[in-house]
Amino acid sequence: MWSEKIKANCRKIHTGLKGTKMLSIIQSVEGQLSDGMWENSFAMRGYWLFECCDLEGDDVVIYISKAWGDVDFNRPRCNKFCNMDEQQIKEWFANKVKQIIKQEIKDDYTEGLEWSRKCKVESAYMHDGITAQDAYKAYDCLKDRGNILWYGIK
């Protein structure tokens, strides 16, 4: 978690996501970027070193550093979010949510898991009992698909 002083020097991205479950999905992306699927990827350092997420009331907010770059392990690291607008950042996170679930399916790690709005199987690659359905709901929201019918799914 970043301090309020650091957050003051960030762009604040309102994701449209609400609650601790949706926050857990974004935190799961952060975890996979730094310690999971992309753990030793220097390319992904240009993302996760320059962002953090938190709840503001019930709203999930992503903070993006305004810094152009930094030095990490004596190597210059560029902030890859710098030239992205708010929607591009949200879509980047949405694509990572989908990629994590798809990789778990490809790895055949969790029986019955599928990328579906109706799949209530919990993902082992995400925290706190997140289901494929939860991940898909976050994906749709981040992609700004307000017109998607969730057929009574909450």
pLDDT single digits (tens) 38-70: 988 888 988 998 999 999 999 999 999 998 877
With a cut of 80, say whether residue 83 has pLDDT above it: yes
- What's the whole-number mean pLDDT along residues 81-86? 95
- Read off the pLDDT of each residue in 101-117 and give the average, rounded to a whole number: 95
**SS3 at position 78:** strand
Average pLDDT, the chain: 89
Predicted local confidence at residue 40, as pLDDT = 80
Partners of residue 11 on adjacent β-strands: 64
Cβ count within 10 A of residue 21: 17
Nearest to 56 by CA among 15, 114, 102: 15
With pLDDT > 90 as the criterion, what percentage of the chain qualifies?
69
What is the DSSP track for 37-74?
TTTT-HHHHHHHTTEEEEEETTEEEEEEE--SEEEETT
Check whether 98 has a pLDDT greater than 60. yes
| Predicted confidence (pLDDT) at residue 87 exceeds the cutoff of 80 | yes
> What pLDDT, on a 0 to 100 scale, did the predictor assign at position 2?
63
At 134-146, the pLDDT tens digits run 999 999 999 998 6
Q: What is the mean pLDDT of residues 110-122?
A: 96
Residue 154 has pLDDT above 60, yes or no: no
pTM of the model: 0.89
Could you give the CA distance from residue 92 to residue 133 in angstroms, rounded to a whole number? 19
pLDDT at residue 151, as a whole number? 47
pLDDT, tens digit, for every residue of 10-23?
999 999 999 999 99
Question: Do the beta carbons of residue 29 and residue 96 sit within 8 Å?
Answer: yes
Q: Report yes or no: 15 and 64 within 8 Å, Cβ to Cβ.
A: no
Instruction: For residues 13 and 143, give the distance between their C-alpha atoms in angstroms, rounded to a whole number.
Output: 13
SS3 content of the chain, % helix, strand, coil (to 5): 40, 20, 40
